Amino acid sequence: MTIIDEIISLSRELGREDRKLAILGEGNTSVKASETTFWVKASGSSLSTLSAGDVTECRFGPLLKLLDQADASDEQILSLLQASQVDPKAKRPSTEAVFHAYLLSLPGITWVGHTHPIAVNGILCSPRAKDFANHRSCPDEIVCCGPTSVLLPYVDPGFALAKAIRAGVEDYSKKTGRMPRMILLTNHGLIAPASSAGGVLTATRMAVKMAEVFSLAAVHGGPVFLSPSDVDRIENRSDEAYRRKQLGV
């Protein structure tokens, strides 16, 4: 299976109607192709029907340099997106290609999936978003989604969001000494960075499951969260580290 086959397969899995993760042109996916380029879903394409012509190869350089600018107009961003394309005749990359470039430049991250799951967004559009991001309810949630998630306030999609993601990930890494396995965007959706396509799907599906558990537990007066010591124990158990590696998260 080629890298294009893999991103098509992952995208279609994320875009399946029964999963309720994304509809129409929502969400995007990417994969690192080399140290200098990556493939990302083209703007306006649907995850559920993605084909080889709906992914665009982009250069990291122009997009990572953009992140160092204090500000950029919509016209400047569009121009840089087009300049980053390896094939200028290919479809225009998603406007979120900037944050994909950043995340794929991090150690151990070769795949990224961004979706808008109904179950997760139900919490991210509520006052309980911080609880969902900062606490864990079950061991498998820790294994697949990490001991905590990065939670960002609502930010305008595109350039501003990419800068906020970089700041949030750097702050998380500085405080915890690890990369996040889940990034939650208030009033928007989730991002799952991983070392494999399967890891993206696993983390995303687990986040959805735990959002459903969280919401159901709330009906019964909860949720009741695991203690910090229990979370730390699961995160650092050698057998769970092995399982995490097998899952590619």
Report the distance separating Cα 194 and Cα 2, nearest Å: 18
Q: Considering only CA atoms, which of 38, 55, 57 is closest in space to residue 47?
A: 55
Report the distance separating Cα 158 and Cα 160, nearest Å: 6
Domain range annotation of the chain: 3-247
**Which amino acid belongs to residue 3?**
I
- Give the HSE-up count for residue 26: Cα atoms under 13 Å, Cβ half-sphere: 17
> Would you state the pLDDT for residue 56?
97
> Would you state the pLDDT for residue 77?
87
Q: Considering only CA atoms, which of 149, 214, 205 is closest in space to residue 180?
A: 149
> Would you state the pLDDT for residue 74?
86
> Would you state the pLDDT for residue 248?
79
3-class SS at 142?
helix
CA 5 to centroid of chain Cα atoms? 20
Per the document, the length of the chain is: 249
> Would you state the pLDDT for residue 60?
97
**Residue 184 carries which DSSP code?**
E
Structure tokens at 113: 């999936």
Structure tokens at 231: 């979370």
pTM of the predicted structure, to 2 decimals:
0.96
Summary mean pLDDT of the chain: 95
Q: Report whether CATH 3.40.1190.20 matches the domain 3-247.
A: no
Query: Mind listing the pLDDT tens digit for each residue in 140-180?
Result: 999 999 999 999 999 999 999 999 999 999 999 999 999 99
- Give the HSE-up count for residue 52: Cα atoms under 13 Å, Cβ half-sphere: 4
Q: At what angle do helices 3-15 and 197-219 cross, to 10 degrees?
A: 10
Structure tokens at 111: 């795949």
> Would you state the pLDDT for residue 249?
82
When pLDDT is cut at 50, 70 and 90, the band that residue 227 belongs to is very high
Distances (CA, A) of 141 to 42, 44, 152: 31, 32, 19
> Would you state the pLDDT for residue 16?
97
When pLDDT is cut at 50, 70 and 90, the band that residue 1 belongs to is confident
Is residue 201 over pLDDT 90? yes
